[in-house]
Amino acid sequence: MRFYIKTYGCQMNERDSDSAAALLQSEGHVPADSEESADLVILNTCSVRDQAERKAIGKLGIMKRLKKEKPDMIFGIMGCMAQSRGAELLQAIPHLDFSLGTDQIHRLPEIVDSILARRGKILADERTGADTPGIDMHRADPDGGHGFSAFVSIMRGCSRFCSYCIVPYTRGLERSRDAASVEAEVRALADRGVREIMLLGQNVAAFGLDNRAPAQDDVSPFADLLERLNGINGLKRIRFTSPHPAYFNKKLIEAVTGLDKVCKSVHLPLQSGSDRILRKMNRPYTAQEYLEIVRALRAGAPEITFSTDVIVGFPTETEEEFEQTREVMARTGFDNAYIFKYSPRKGTRSAQWEDDVPVEEKERRNQVLLADLERDVRKRNAALVGRTFEVLAEGPSKRNPDRWQGRTDTFKNVVFTPAPGSAVTPGDFLNVRIVRSTAMTLYGELV
């Protein structure tokens, strides 16, 4: 069969789609370029944000037409929506054949076989709480085209129970992989040419602590893992996402700033700059503690860049509390921020509270933060003009294929023009001198 997987949401979902694709390929199925040309279409869904859920629901509607044109087509969902609403969706959507929960990905080939044998609709949403067999499989081509970069899932689930978040319910509690198996996987990837890895986990810095609280200053199994991976020959860059600030103790800060392969770019979810709102969110740090982590990381690695997640319009958030978020953002100086207008997720603690900040006010706060961010990043990028950076070439730029696009260690997006006749290949490390900048991009020339 020809299969097509459409992925919504986070990188964990992308990783799960990779695993699902690898399982299907191991059974002889082949990837299709589009849903129209596929015999099997899977939506890998996300419940974390209202917008992602609405997009997937919209897509479920569009699939009805396709299924009418190709009645033999198999259509299924996986991911967080499948875990939390699979039974309801299977019942409500006649053209949906299966729903695969987040612990059940290994059953995909068997489920496809059952549907081919006309055994009716299938719901697989058991929570095993264990690692899914086969889940660590990579596609033959790990980044979908280049082969120099790969996602490596090191733990699954989250035990933090932030009051607004559905993840602990859809993905289950924390389960870490064994450090030796992660190391073996990364070694094998490096041996076959992978230069950059992204370590993935819903609460990645809790690696090895499964369900235990953040540890004392000198204990961080995640920092130990970074150190092990830093020693792997051939590997050049180690990234990770998403860490909870509460796990940034002295040991982890030293690992991030001191290990040469660990990229100097950290995604550090702030969520709010108000201590009262942070408490209500069940985020166990204060704005001051957050800024202290930023200060310590900058002290050890002055070029380090930060990105973050912020929620505006959380229940009862006042104008003054919103201004506190603005201030923490300004003092940190983020390179990127995913700003979300609060929306209640059914089944979470905050969904029981009145969603009392008006939609227009949430939108206004969102726009204010976006404008602050744009201004701030534009200024910081302008200060980089004239500097030279090592850039990992990713491929031709989407807008102009004569130009190439790549990333610095600090995750800055750099566009450059290779010299005529020069043979740049994805995965090359090149020195690029920055000649101009915008808020989103640095433009440069090869040195």
CA-closest candidate to residue 73, choices 42, 30, 27:
42
CA-closest candidate to residue 442, choices 420, 395, 410, 402:
410
Nearer to ligand SF4, 165 or 252 (CB): 165
Q: Which 8-state DSSP code applies to residue 27? A: T
Q: Which of 19, 45, 153, 202 is close enough to bind ligand SF4 by CB under 6 A?
A: 202
Residue 244 makes contact with ligand SF4 by CB under 6 A: yes
Per-residue buried b or exposed e for 336-350, using 16+ beta carbons within 10 Å of the residue's own CB: ebebbbbbbbeebbb
Q: How many CA atoms lie within 13 A of 25 on its CB side?
A: 16
To the nearest whole angstrom, how small is the minimum distance from the Cβ of residue 20 to ligand SF4?
21
Nearer to ligand SF4, 149 or 348 (CB): 348
To the nearest whole angstrom, how small is the minimum distance from the Cβ of residue 379 to ligand SF4?
30
The sheet carrying 196-200 orders its strands as: 149-153, 196-200, 237-241
Give CA angle at 213 (209, 214), nearest 5°.
80
Cβ neighbours around 44 below 10 Å, total:
27
- Among the candidate windows 104-112, 160-168, 215-223, 226-234, which touches ligand SF4 by CB under 6 A? 160-168
Nearer to ligand SF4, 162 or 194 (CB): 162
Residue 204 makes contact with ligand SF4 by CB under 6 A: no
To the nearest whole angstrom, how small is the minimum distance from the Cβ of residue 249 to ligand SF4?
16
Nearer to ligand SF4, 4 or 222 (CB): 222
Alpha helices in 72-149 (DSSP H): 80-92, 108-116
What tokens were used for 160? 């933090």
Nearer to ligand SF4, 129 or 231 (CB): 129
To the nearest whole angstrom, how small is the minimum distance from the Cβ of residue 196 to ligand SF4?
24
Nearer to ligand SF4, 315 or 427 (CB): 315
Residue with tokens 């095993």: 128
Q: Which of 9, 147, 168, 208 is close enough to bind ligand SF4 by CB under 6 A?
A: 168
Q: Which of 23, 80, 108, 167 is close enough to bind ligand SF4 by CB under 6 A?
A: 167
- 226 to each of 45, 96, 150, 296, 358, how far by Cα in Å? 30, 42, 16, 18, 43
Helix (H) or strand (E) holding 280: helix 275-280
The strand pairing partners of 307, in sequence order, are 267, 336
Residue 162 makes contact with ligand SF4 by CB under 6 A: yes
- Among the candidate windows 158-166, 187-195, 290-298, 378-386, which touches ligand SF4 by CB under 6 A? 158-166
Q: Which of 67, 106, 138, 160 is close enough to bind ligand SF4 by CB under 6 A?
A: 160
To the nearest whole angstrom, how small is the minimum distance from the Cβ of residue 267 to ligand SF4?
11
Q: Which of 19, 45, 153, 203 is close enough to bind ligand SF4 by CB under 6 A?
A: 203
C-alpha 53/C-alpha 306 separation (Å) is 27
Residue 161 makes contact with ligand SF4 by CB under 6 A: yes
Give CA angle at 214 (209, 217), nearest 5°.
110
Nearer to ligand SF4, 102 or 203 (CB): 203
The strand pairing partners of 98, in sequence order, are 76, 122
To the nearest whole angstrom, how small is the minimum distance from the Cβ of residue 332 to ligand SF4?
18
Q: Is the dihedral of CA 64, 68, 70, 73 positive or negative?
A: positive
Instruction: Kindly identify the residues of this chain, within the stretch 382-441, that bind ligand SF4 according to CB under 6 A.
Output: none
To the nearest whole angstrom, how small is the minimum distance from the Cβ of residue 374 to ligand SF4?
25
C-alpha 199/C-alpha 154 separation (Å) is 6
Nearer to ligand SF4, 284 or 300 (CB): 284
Nearer to ligand SF4, 9 or 76 (CB): 9
Instruction: Kindly identify the residues of this chain, within the stretch 320-349, that bind ligand SF4 according to CB under 6 A.
Output: none
To the nearest whole angstrom, how small is the minimum distance from the Cβ of residue 274 to ligand SF4?
17
Report the interface residues with ligand SF4, using CB under 6 A. 158, 160-162, 165, 167-168, 202-203, 244
